[in-house]
Amino acid sequence: MDGAPKSGLRYPFPAPPDAGQVIPVADGVFWARLALPMALDHVNAYVLDDGDGWTVFDTGFDDSATRDAWTALLAGPLKGKRVQRVIASHHHPDHIGLAGWFQAQGAELWTTRTAWLMARMMVLDEQDRPNRETLEFWRRVGMDPDILAQRATERPFNFCDRVAPLPLGYHRVADGDVVHAGARDWVVRLGQGHAPDQITLWSTSCNLVLGADQLLPSISANLGVYATEPDADPVAEWLATCDGLKEFAFDDHLVLPGHKLPFTGLPLRLRQMIENHQGALKRLHGHLATPRKAGECFAPLFKREITQAVYGLALVEAVAHLNHLTATGRARRWADADGVYLWQAV
C-alpha cells in the first residue's frame, strides 16, 4: 500500500544502528537491526536488560547471516549476559525465525498460543512444490497465468527454510497480561489483521510501546488472504485493531516498530493507517464498476507498478480488500465459466 505521509510524525533516532551495534532507546532497552534478503531488507529487534540476562523482542530469520549477527552482538555490545527469554511478537519468520535457536541455548520462548501453534505447524509443513489447494486458490482469484505456470514448478517459501525448529514448550502470552522485562512492566495488547494475535507491549511506567508490525511509521503491513482461509477478512480485523488502540495512544509515546525507525505521533499514525485502507477501499470500489479479477486490481490499491518480486504479496492483499468489500455488501463475487472469481461493485 502507499506509504503514509510523515507530517506530524517525529523520528528521534534519524538512523538505525550499524551492523553489530545497538542504540539505547530508553533505560535498559536497546535497538538492533538485522538484515533480510528481500525487498524489505531489515527487521528491528529490541533487547531488554533484565539484570542477570537479556530478553529479546523478535529475532530475525534463521539463516547464517542473522546467527552471525547475534553472535557478534552477544560478543560485543551485549557481552557478559546471555539471552534468557525471547518474546516473539507473531509467527512470521522475520520475527520468530531464531526463537528455536535461542531456545537450544537455554532461552525461554514467550508468545501467543496462536503464534506458537502456527509457527510450529508451518515449520513441519515442508513442500517441494505448491500444493494443489494453493495452486487452485491462485487460479481462482485470477493470478496471471504465466506467473501461475512458473510458480507451479518452483519450490515455494517454506517456513523451515527461515525458521529454526521449535521445541515443545513455551510460555503463553495473552491479551491483558502484564510482562516484566527491562526493569518495567508492559501491558500486552494483541493486534489482528497482519498476523493473528500479534503482541504489542505498552509500558506502564513510561511512554514506550513495542509495536512490532502492528504499528509501523511509514509503510503499511501486508494484509493477506491465503488458501488456508480464503474467505477471511483481515482488513476488518486490522481496522478494528487500529480503532481500538486509539484509546491508549498518546503523542509522546515512543513506538519501537518491527521495521523502519522508532517514532512518536502514534494517534496520528493510527488515523493514517485507518484512512489509508479506507481510501484504498474507495478507489477499489470505483475500479469495480467493471467486473474484475483480483489480479486486475493492483492499480487502485497500490498506485504503483507491481513487480514480479512482490506480485504474490500484492495478490493476497488485493483479495483481502475484495473480501472486505464483499463482506460489507459493497461488492459481489461470482465465478466465471472457468471457475475464476470476478468482483463487481454493488
To the question of domain 23-282 being in CATH 3.40.50.720, the answer is no
Contact between residue 35 and residue 41 where contact means Cβ atoms under 8 Å apart: yes
Assigned C-alpha cell, 108: 525461554
List pLDDT tens digits, range 290-318: 999 999 999 999 988 999 889 999 999 99
pLDDT attached to residue 4? 42
Residue type, 304: R
Model confidence at 113: pLDDT above 90? yes
CA atoms of 171 and 178, how far apart (whole Å): 13
Assigned C-alpha cell, 56: 529479546
Contact between residue 93 and residue 52 where contact means Cβ atoms under 8 Å apart: no
pLDDT attached to residue 309? 87
Contact between residue 224 and residue 318 where contact means Cβ atoms under 8 Å apart: no
Locate the domains of the chain by residue range: 23-282
Percent of the residues in the chain that have a pLDDT greater than 70, as a whole number? 98
